[in-house]
Chains A and B, each alone.
Chain A
Amino acid sequence: MSSYLFRNGHVIDPVTGVDGQRDLLIVDGVIDCIREHIGASADETFDLDGAVIAPGFCDMHVHFREPGEEHKETLATGALAAAAGGFTAVACMPNTIPPLDTAEAVLSIRQKSDRFPVDIHPIGAITKGREGRELAPIAELHAAGAVAFSDDGTCLQNAKLLRIALDYASVVDAPVIQHAEDAALSEGGAMNEGYMSTVLGLPGIPRIAEDGIVLRDMAVVEYVDGTYHLAHVSTASAVDAVRAAKVKGLRVTCEAAPHHFTLTDEAVRGYDTSTKVKPPLRTRDDVVAVKEAFRDGVIDAIATDHAPHAAFEKEVEYVYAPFGIIGLETAVGLAVTELVEQRYLTLWELVERFSVNPRRILRLPEIRIEEGMQANLTFFHPSREWSVDVRQFRSRSRNSPFHGMTLRGKPLGIVNKDQLVWLAE
């Protein structure tokens, strides 16, 4: 029997509607007692000093590289990074080697991560081999545990296949997640096409590569009445397209990554390959549009697109470096600093974007912070400042553009599956 008592917490639970100062007692992984003051003692007691107790955060977009590229990340190191970032669940993209396009591959992810304190939900490939030609066995993948379908890393270019995938996925009630990028327009590009690519002489990826696919997809979604989730939205026009679709009542949701509401293509100056991502870092106007879309609810979720790469892969010429940066361990700090501190979101809304909404999109069970419920919780301090040091990261990789940055809002730990992961101060 183990028991943990958390004093002076600030419970925010959008599901039950609680927003206030509470003490919370967990016994054997179950919420035993939740009150304004608890007198009892426990094996371990934590003074939260006003930190938030929230339903466990879920990052619905990570790349854990297992199987195939374990030198970048494994399910185990990825889970450690997720826990350190304050997440109790992640959904991992299927662009592994081989990709998650068979029931066995999906099952294997679940089995290997079975005992981790962080739930790892596999996302199945839409097409066999992620090649964009033939539909993968979507119903089988779903039965094996795939929570959504995506060819992320590449875009599903073929509109007919998208139509079929949306139709087919609706049978199992799972969303299709699109990585919107017109391959012909983005080919050879290394950064956002604009003033900065002109100054730096780097080949550009024009915003229309993203905008065009999103506009087309909205038409397809409307036509077939599918369930569609747009990954890592980054442009003002793509945000507008999603907003218009939502107004029409389409079953469309979308996410944005912290780097897309924090950095602009100015960050590429100096050619640090930790700024090379897809979609690329955009302009000030886009960053503002993404933030505004958080405010008005067009963007449902914060997802990191955590994409680890080894130093030897990233420490090369900018054009040769692979796309992607890690994000799990900086997401909460960036979201609080950029969205809460700048009044785009309240803490309540932040919890929705990090926990309630992504779980709803992936059809995961609701978390309720109530007595008798299994504890699945994220603890974070909304006003604590800290300095990002990639050397302290739990991820196997270090490719973050945020090293050295001072952030406000620090994850303290998680509880899930009767396991407590607490970050040493």
Chain B
Amino acid sequence: MASLTIDHLIGLDGVPREDIALILDTTDTFLEVLDRPVKKVPTLQGKTVVNLFFENSTRTRISFELAERRLSADVVNFSVGTSSVSKGESLLDTARNIEAMKVDMVVMRHSAAGACEFLRRRCTSRFINAGDGAHEHPTQALLDMFTLRREFGTLEGINVCIVGDILHSRVARSNMFGLVTMGANVAVCGPPTLLPRHVDRLGVRVFTDIDEALAWCDAVNVLRIQLERRAGGYFPTLREYHDVYGVTAERLDRLSRRIAILHPGPINRGVEIDSDVADGPQSVILRQVTHGVAVRMAVLYLLGTKTE
């Protein structure tokens, strides 16, 4: 009987290959459920899931909420601005409250790395990390991997390059951990100021030339450039970033083959990626969004029904 070895999904660092494979296989099933006239199954009936969002992210929250509702869970949204967090409640108090409310599962987004782990250690609910600072965003990486697997039939041996601000990106970290575990060849590419120290020790190649990176890869995952990074002095201007690292149609046209284009969204058109690329035939960006709901249903199902 197939079951996950993990009890929570905090990150993909250290998650065994079998677990990732099971999540991706299960996602296939849920993708089929999403094709039904009634896109809802009663599997998590009677379970309460709290979406604990300390950081704004409408897209991720909606994707999780859809997944939860389609599994018939009872959903409570708890976001900064509508909650006591904005009144200065500490994370520790939040933990105690969650524990007292006897919630089955918590989906959590926070701006500080380790915040999900912090709550997990103090609560008995099952936790799914929906992004903690620059640490991990495992469901995003899983949906990227699922999209790649459907595109190429396998993850084993495919060349995937992640382009952009690797230093501050939780999406990059989760993708690196997960893809390396699944046997893909992974590279990162970006300005040296935005590459974390010793990133090569994660088992990834490092490019600083975007054209070399694009020539090498089968698929490129283009990260959103946070506009405030320019103020941090990591690169001089957005125009220069676009000139040196932007994924443009001209760059893709120079390649000898077609590569798949991924982007976790939201897109800064004309900065890290051009509109005609994001909307073009090589783009799988909208498929990623569809897969996001299915991946999250799979994770919620596998963790939510896991026997003790």
A residues within 8 Å of B by Cβ?
A: 193-195, 197-204, 206, 270-271, 312, 315-320
Contact = CB atoms under 8 A, between A and B. Distances in A.
Given A206-B197, A316-B91, A318-B112, 13 more contacts: A195-B197, A195-B198, A198-B173, A198-B201, A199-B13, A199-B173, A201-B173, A203-B134, A271-B117, A271-B118, A316-B90, A317-B114, A319-B112
B198 A317 contact: no
A193 B195 CA distance: 12
B133 interface: yes
Contacts of B135: 200-202
Contact of A198 (B114, B115, B197): B197
Contact of A202 (B114, B198, B202): B114
A318 B112 CA distance: 7
Interface string B111-145: 01111011000000000000011111000000000
B133 A199 contact: no
A261 to B, nearest CB: 23
A318 B197 contact: no
Given A193-B197, A199-B13, A201-B132, A319 B113 contact: yes
Contacts of B199: 198
A202 B92 contact: no
16 contacts: A195-B198, A198-B201, A198-B202, A199-B13, A200-B135, A201-B134, A201-B135, A201-B136, A202-B113, A202-B114, A271-B118, A315-B90, A317-B91, A317-B118, A318-B112, A320-B112
Nearest to A320: B112
Interface in B2-27: 13
B133 A195 contact: no
Nearest to B112: A317
A168 to B, nearest CB: 37
Contacts of B118: 271, 317-318
Contacts of B197: 193-195, 197-198, 204, 206
B196 A200 contact: no
A294 to B, nearest CB: 27
B70 interface: no
Contacts of B134: 201-203
Contacts of A202: 113-114, 133-135
A258 to B, nearest CB: 24
Nearest to B196: A198
Nearest to A317: B112
B170 interface: yes
B198 A319 contact: no
B92 A316 contact: yes
A383 B124 CA distance: 41
Q: Which 6 A-B pairs have the closest CB atoms?
A: A271-B114, A201-B135, A317-B112, A201-B134, A198-B196, A195-B198
Interface in B225-269: none
A318 B13 CA distance: 19
Interface in B170-209: 170, 173, 196-199, 201-202
A268 to B, nearest CB: 9
Contacts of B90: 312, 315-316
Contacts of A315: 90, 92
A64 B202 CA distance: 42
A201 B169 CA distance: 8
A271 B133 CA distance: 13
Nearest to B90: A316
B110 interface: yes
Contact of B92 (A197, A204, A312): A312
Contacts of A198: 173, 196-199, 201-202
Contact of A199 (B91, B115, B202): B202
B170 A201 contact: yes
Contacts of A203: 134
B33 to A, nearest CB: 33
A193 B167 CA distance: 11
B198 A201 contact: no
Contact of A317 (B115, B173, B201): B115
A320 B199 CA distance: 25
Given A198-B198, A199-B13, A200-B113, A319 B92 contact: no
Contacts of A318: 112-114, 118
B93 to A, nearest CB: 10
A200 B173 CA distance: 9
A312 B91 CA distance: 10
B198 to A, nearest CB: 4
Contacts of B13: 199
A201 B136 CA distance: 8
Contacts of A204: 197
A198 B172 CA distance: 11
Contacts of A316: 90-92
Contacts of A195: 197-198, 201
Given A315-B92, A316-B91, A197 B196 contact: yes
Given A195-B197, A312-B92, A316-B91, A200 B114 contact: yes
A312 B201 CA distance: 36
A364 to B, nearest CB: 42
B272 to A, nearest CB: 20
Nearest to B13: A199
A348 B92 CA distance: 46
A193 B114 CA distance: 16
A200 B136 CA distance: 8
Interface in B142-177: 170, 173
A312 B93 CA distance: 10
A195 B110 CA distance: 23
Contact of B198 (A194, A270, A271, A312): A194
A271 B110 CA distance: 14
Contacts of B173: 198-199, 201
Contacts of B133: 201-202, 319
A194 B90 CA distance: 29
Contacts of A312: 90, 92
Nearest to A193: B197
Nearest to A315: B92
Contacts of B117: 270-271
A194 B114 CA distance: 17
A312 B90 CA distance: 9
